[in-house]
Structure 1
């Protein structure tokens, strides 16, 4: 559902608007679409830069040569697979955080079904959680604001970065799934996510800033929400 942006008067007053469930759903989905578009434009160069930096470097980590060879041979496949996995993972997180609250995107699986078809192992979940936490730490204040906005839209007291469909966990999980899909050896998972950690955080920082601007333009301003808490 589309709806008009906030008026100049509502922005100036700093009021927090009433948001219907349909509007909240539309705002969350628009944020997902924006973040997908921004990451899709940035990721190929981001991954290529990592490959260039790794090339010719010697590292005692057993994962280093595996990651170098993987990126050199499958960079295009990784780019396409990551973006497909990102959209899929965002949809999964959206369903999980909004179940019973707002309508899921058309064609999305329900949370119970997703839990049955999710092939990610307990071990990979642990790896994702650890690296997603590190990425979130690089953009801590920005994520506080985005979590506040998403919590407001969902009518929740708070939302953690680890459950936010716009947060770092989604990107890190999609990245590891893409690596698995393109046959990166399990021994290289840790090194793979480690070398992506800082560049991904920097790109996510830029993405989150644009998302916060987007929500502010629709009258959902983190500063105004914070004043009401």
Structure 2
């Protein structure tokens, strides 16, 4: 069988648009999910009993249900309660909620690995609990688990392919659209898989380089 990718030319605008949507979903969902993950990790480690159990319920509920089910619940279920969202907004919310649970667990591992001497040092400087967490605990914890967080960001990008199920025009949606027009499924999905591979490689390298720069600056300060 000979491979023919000449059919790509008429669809290059759609492919480029799909890539941009995939990147946008990943950046927004990953960034907000990281913030939610920090809050979740703090609640698990330093929150009171109510916050701790709420965080545990949230993490276990998300990690033990499929992302597709979460997405469909937000997109189709919330309108029944009177909350109507666009497909892309539903996808972002689902991505943030899902990412927050996984990143929360990653960060919790980093926080719990903090040596108790750092808490004692912060206490000796009369730092509040918030100041201790922000300035003494959080930054080293993020540095400690940064490779795992980068891996989660990459998984977020792959999760965006599921959002095509509610007609968000990201890369997988575009691939399905093209395949339905040219019926060349093999070439279409090989090309799209290669595109995801390149995006994942570039994103991983950029995030690891950014992490080294930020952590080096933090240590220098």
Q: TM-score range by the shorter chain?
A: 0.3 to 0.5
Bigger fraction of residues in helix: 2
| TM-score (normalised: structure 1) | 0.35
| TM-score (normalised: structure 2) | 0.36
* Higher CA-based Rg: 2
